[in-house]
Amino acid sequence: MPLIGGGANPQNKRLFSEAKRKLAEWSDSAGIKKQLRPQLLGGLERVMHTLPERREWFEVQSILIGKSIEVSLRLEEPHFRAFTSRRGVGVTTIAPAWNVGWGQVLKRPEVYEVLSWFLHYARQYVHRSRVAAVLMAALERNGQALHPFAAEAIYQRYGPTQPMTTVSAVLNEGRDMALRQWGRNSGRIPQVTQTDWAGWNTLDPSLHLGIAHLLRAEQLLKSDFTLEAVVAFDCVIQAMAGYLSVRQSSSTSPTRGQVCRELGLSKARAGAADYAYFIRNNFGAHPRGWRWWDVDEMLSEQALSAISGMARCALRAAADREPTARLVDPAPTDWPEWLLKNFVSIWDAVWFREMDVAGHRP
C-alpha cells in the first residue's frame, strides 16, 4: 500500500495534509519566496512517495560518548548496543538512512537544501534518542554526565548494494568493528547493565528534550556554573510541562510545582521546582534589580541537591508513565509510516525555525 496518494489509507492522507501545513507555515514565516512554496510542498510529496521504496535503507553508527574508563556499561537492546572499550564508553545504534540519495528526487537546489537537511536531522534524532538512554544509564549508575557528541564515529550503510541481514546482526557487527578499532577492555566483560532507561521511550520528543537539559545541567553543576545549572534544571520541568500539555487539554499553563505534583512527586519536590523557576526568572533568564551579586547565597549545596534530585525524579516519573499515554512508537516496524505520523513533532524538535526567521545564520 502506498504511503500517500491514491490507495493510501485515509489516516495517512490526513497526516500528510498536516505535514504540508507545517512546512507551509514555516515557509511563510521564514520569508521564503512565494513561488518556492509549491515547490517545497511538491518536494515533500516526492519524499513521501520515495521513502517506502527505501524501507531497507539503514545506517549503523558507533560513537564514543565518553573517554572515561571509570564508567563500565554493557547494554544489548533491540535498537542499540552499549559497550566499554579501552577508549571509553561506546554506543552502536541503527536508524533509517534518510540522509542520503535525494539529489535525483529533489532537483531544485532550494528544495533540496531544506528537505535533505530536515531528513538528515530526523535520522540524527533517531540515533541520538538511543544514545540518550545510555547517557542516562551512565548518569544514574556512575554519576557521570557523558558527552553526547562523539569525537569519533564509525558508519556502515545498508541498502540495495549491501543488503541488511537482521537488525541484531548488524548492530553486533557495528559494535565488534568499533571494539576492534578502539580496543577491547582487558578486564572481565561486565554483566549486562540493569537500567530502566533501556526500556523507556527516548524517541518521545519531550523526554528526549528533558534528557538533553538534565545532562547539560549536571555538566554545568560539575563545573561550578551553578546559576546556569539551575536554569537548565528548570528547563527539564518546562519540557515535562510540554510532555503533559500534549496529552491533556487545558487552557491554563501549570506552575512548575503543579507539573511535579501531576507527575506524582512530593510536595517538597514541587517546592524545589518552584524555587528553581524563581531563581531562573530573577537571576538567570530575566535578571531583575535585586541583589544580583548575592545569588550564590541562595544556591547552597542543599538547595542545588534538592533541585537536581527534583529534576531527575520528574524526568523518571514522566518516562515511567509514558506507555500509558504513548504518542510516539519507540520500536516501529515501518519507518516511513513512523516519519509521516510524527512529522510535525519531529519537525518541531529538530528544525530551528526561529533562527531562520531572525536571519541568524552566521
| Segment 20-51, tens digit of pLDDT | 999 999 999 888 889 999 999 999 999 999 99
Q: Which of 157, 299, 322, 141 is nearest to 220 (CA)?
A: 299
What's the mean per-residue pLDDT of the chain? 91
* Residues making up the chain, counted from first to last: 362
Which region among 5-9, 191-195, 285-289 has the lowest average model confidence (pLDDT)? 285-289
3-state class of 174 per DSSP? helix
How much is the pLDDT for 292? 66
- The model's confidence at residue 362, banded by pLDDT at 50, 70 and 90, is very low
Q: Is 111 a residue whose pLDDT tops 60?
A: yes
Q: Is 57 a residue whose pLDDT tops 60?
A: yes
- The model's confidence at residue 357, banded by pLDDT at 50, 70 and 90, is very low
Taking a C-beta distance cutoff of 8 angstroms, is the pair 96, 334 a contact? no
Q: What gap in Å lies between CA 265 and CA 277, rounded to an integer?
A: 16
Q: Is 223 a residue whose pLDDT tops 60?
A: yes
Query: Above pLDDT 70, what percent of the chain?
Result: 92
Q: Which of 32, 165, 187, 175 is nearest to 110 (CA)?
A: 32
> Edge to edge, what strands does the sheet with 58-66 contain?
75-77, 80-85, 88-96, 58-66, 153-158
Q: How far does the chain reach from its first CA to its final CA, in angstroms?
A: 44
How much is the pLDDT for 220? 96
Which region among 77-91, 288-302, 332-346 has the lowest average model confidence (pLDDT)? 288-302
- Residue ranges matching CATH 1.20.120 in the chain: 204-325
Q: What's the grid cell of residue 287?
A: 535578571
**Domain covering 204-325 assigned CATH 1.20.120 in the classification:** yes
